[in-house]
Amino acid sequence: MAMLTLQLIENSLQSLDGFYLWKDTDSEYLGISPQFARLLGYQTSKQIIGARDESLAWAEFAEQAVHDDQIALHQGGFQGIEYARFSHQSEMIPFLVSKHRFSDGSGVHQGIFAQATPLEEVTFPTLKQRQLSQREQQCLQLFLQGKTCREIGDVLCLSHRTTEKYLASLKLKFNVGNKAALVSKAIQEGYLTNVTDTIN
């Protein structure tokens, strides 16, 4: 019966339109919707099935993804932001992820089922006054000066990954999907100030 249920879930995933995945209790991919696989740079779902996050292009985010999987397994569900990449050199893609535990007929946990939505497609209420931390303000000012994440990290003594997380947070707070839209919206809202005042 369990094999029939697993096969049914796998067949369902292949026919779903959207971004879905399915992992076992050890966070090994058992299935992923074709649309999601293509978004992540793979031609077919089969290229991801059997893999674990640490062996894929977004390996640097694997520890967080596995941690979130375990929360879903032990608490029944998880919702939060996770990241992926097309390749090791590409920009990270933030996703709003909802993970849910699934069990067999006898109540034994079999793994997690997740739905992911790219943050650029998630709508949030407009914030009249954006509550930016001091570090977010510093990063924003440097983005507005045209600096890359790596350059900002050098100026602020932050890792490239930490700077990317600040960028993702800023895009979320400004409700935009990319750096160009962030810069445009921030300038329109009057966030361009004297960089040295903000950084010092």
Greater model confidence, 163 or 2: 163
Strand order in the sheet with 77-84: 29-32, 20-24, 109-118, 93-103, 77-84
Let me know the angle formed at the C-alpha of 99 by 97 and 101, rounded to the nearest 5 degrees.
175
Question: H or E segment at 30?
Answer: strand 29-32
**Helix crossing, 179-188 with 160-174: angle to 10°?**
60
- Contact status, residue 139 vs residue 167, Cβ threshold 8 Å: yes
β-sheet bridge partners, residue 113: 22, 100
DSSP string, 105-150: TTS-EEEEEEEEEEGGG---PPPSS----HHHHHHHHHHHTT--HH
- Residue 150: phi and psi, rounded to 5, are -65, -45
1-31 pLDDT, tens digit each? 445 455 665 666 566 667 888 899 999 998 8
The residue ranges of every structural domain in the chain are 2-121, 134-195
Please report, rounded to a whole number, the percentage of residues in the chain having pLDDT higher than 70: 80
Burial profile 94-113: b = 16 or more Cβ within 10 angstroms, e = fewer: bbbbebebeeeeeeeebbbb
Q: Which CATH architecture has domain 134-195?
A: Orthogonal Bundle (1.10)
Greater model confidence, 103 or 7: 103
Question: H or E segment at 89?
Answer: none
3.40.50.2300, 3.30.450.20, 3.60.21.10, 3.40.50.1220: CATH of 2-121: 3.30.450.20
Lowest mean pLDDT among 49-58, 62-71, 125-134: 125-134
Question: H or E segment at 86?
Answer: none
User: How much is the pLDDT for 193?
Assistant: 55
Same fold yes or no, 2-121 and 134-195: no
Greater model confidence, 16 or 110: 110
Number of neighbouring beta carbons within 10 Å of residue 151: 15
Q: Is the pLDDT of residue 154 over 80?
A: yes
Residues 6+ apart with CB under 8 A from 40: 48, 56, 57, 84, 86
Confidence of residue 128 (pLDDT cuts 50, 70, 90): very low
Q: What is the mean pLDDT of residues 76-97?
A: 77
